[in-house]
Structure 1
Amino acid sequence: MTTPSKQSAPRWVDFHCHVDLYKEHAALIAECDRERVATLAVTTTPKAWPRNRELASKSAHVRIALGLHPQLVAERENELPIFERYLPDARYVGEIGLDAGPRFYRSFPAQERVFERVLRACAEQGGKILTVHSVRAVSKVLNHIEGALPPDRGRVVLHWFTGTPAEARRAVALGCYFSINGEMLRSPKHRQLVGDLPLERLLTETDGPFVQSEGHPLRPRDVVTTVAELAAARNLSPTAMGDTILQNLKQLVSA
């Protein structure tokens, strides 16, 4: 996500953060640069992408992803042509995916139409890195990825993954990475799941401002806590885990 010198190299990775949903949008971008947090700023609608891109145009560490959030597909499916118009200029894509939760299940057929079209467009252009939402729909998400996005045409990072161990193994076989946040490590079940994922496929995220700590939205710099918690879950030192996450990011973006 960056072209680092020793002084400017990222120290941390937040691979999924809704930077434009913070009140101090521009200030947060500057903070990411000061703290050297390689941050993927996801968008929820294509119309948000140009302004986000403009604000981050001079950032050393913030990159903008072009998104069409599955929870907004019911009212935003008509923005898909806008998404496709911007896609050639977007290396990163997200937030996209599927959500079969009770509030959004009625739009699930539309979500699948959008997701399939997005994956095929990304495959056609090649070289995209996608951050993907899969709430209660991991198997369906993996079906679409397997059918529409060959591993040599794009890379997938599963955001806040809560699938089964079998689904995790399938995702690994498809070449997926996983971005881990602190909330995932609160549940013993999900902590065990994260503990079994391949170390070389792990990234960190905040999903701020939706994830909070002590009543305050997490910021990209707070990912340092997740690194420490993830290190404990994997019986590594925080330094070793931080170095691994940075190496994984480098591997992801250089492929």
Structure 2
Amino acid sequence: MTDRLIDFHCHLDLYPDFEGLVADCERRGIYTLAVTTTPRAWSRNRDVCGITRHVRAGLGLHPQLVGEHWREIDLWERYSHETRYVGEVGIDAGPAHFRSLERQMAVFRQILIACSSQGGKILSVHSVRSATKVLDLLEEHLPEDRGSAVLHWFTGSMAEARRAVALGCYFSINRQMLTSDRGMRLVRSLPVERLLLETDGPFTSEDGQPTRPQAVSRTLSDLASAFGQTRDDLRRQLLGNLRTLTEVADPRPSANH
């Protein structure tokens, strides 16, 4: 029997065994959002993930790549009608990407406007050193009744976290977020009904190897301890959160349409 789990942010197509890993998520019953970094990756992800029950592909334009790939926003818009899931998108104001900040904000704004116009989108959002900017744009361009944002690997302040909660955001939690006192305090301050799990693999590692979706099992155990819950109780809560987010009868992402 599979232990149903969630990995709501994983770059499956960046592993050498992409198709095998998708099949593994399907076999294990891991509800996985396969985020992409540019729209050029969309077609392959759509085709590989679209035949599964448990894996859904997200249409992305990663903020760290916007400096070079910003023209692909036109391609992103062309594909945007094909999927309910969007990611990885957002803003990165870290030193390595600060020079493209204005362009990142313009691209993210354009994505949010398109998502709001189409309605019903679920976004996996990057917000490194930019939580306030991200939340400002979400508040301005993506009302709660037009779409939902899941803040991936959120590292903002407690005040920014409270604002995100008030705006209706969810948060996808990976194990690395639970390794520092600051990270643990932040995660424990979040409403448990707004939480999901993620790996952000292969950009995180477990036992010296790129993290694979099944590693969310460890994150679930750590998160249950942090909230003083049993593992099974928290697992049921998180599956219920996913059901609420996606608004479908089964606790899984809906089809890519």
- Paired position in structure 1 for 2:161: 168
- TM-score w.r.t. the length of structure 1 is 0.96
Taking the aligned partners of 1:224 and 1:236, their CA distance within structure 2 comes to 15
- Paired position in structure 1 for 2:221: 228
Task: State the secondary structure of the residue aligned to 2:123.
Answer: strand
Deviations 1:149-194 (A, max 9, x none): 0000000000000111110110000000000000000011110110
1:159 to 141, 145, 152: 152
Q: Structure 2 matches for 1:120-131, cutoff 5 A?
A: 120-131=113-124
The aligned amino acid for 1:21 is L
- Paired position in structure 1 for 2:211: 218
- TM-score w.r.t. the length of structure 2 is 0.95
Q: Structure 2 matches for 1:190-229, cutoff 5 A?
A: 190-229=183-222
Taking the aligned partners of 1:13 and 1:229, their CA distance within structure 2 comes to 14
Q: CA deviation at 1:57?
A: 2.1
- Paired position in structure 2 for 1:108: 101
RMSD between aligned residues: 1.1
- Paired position in structure 2 for 1:22: 15
Task: State the secondary structure of the residue aligned to 1:13.
Answer: strand
Deviations 1:32-72 (A, max 9, x none): 01110000000000010001111112111100000000000
- Paired position in structure 2 for 1:33: 26
What stretches of structure 2 of length at least 5 have no aligned partner? Answer: 249-257
Deviations 1:214-239 (A, max 9, x none): 21011111100000000011111111
- Paired position in structure 2 for 1:69: 62
The aligned amino acid for 2:73 is L
1:250 aligns with 2:243: yes
* Alpha-carbon contact 2:30-2:214 (below 8 Å) kept: yes
Q: CA deviation at 1:12?
A: 0.2
Task: State the secondary structure of the residue aligned to 1:151.
Answer: coil
Taking the aligned partners of 1:76 and 1:247, their CA distance within structure 2 comes to 37
1:42 to 31, 35, 42: 35
- Paired position in structure 2 for 1:87: 80
Task: State the secondary structure of the residue aligned to 2:58.
Answer: strand
Q: Which runs of 4+ in 1 moved over 3 A?
A: none
Taking the aligned partners of 1:101 and 1:69, their CA distance within structure 2 comes to 14
What stretches of structure 1 of length at least 5 have no aligned partner? Answer: 1-6
Taking the aligned partners of 1:79 and 1:21, their CA distance within structure 2 comes to 19
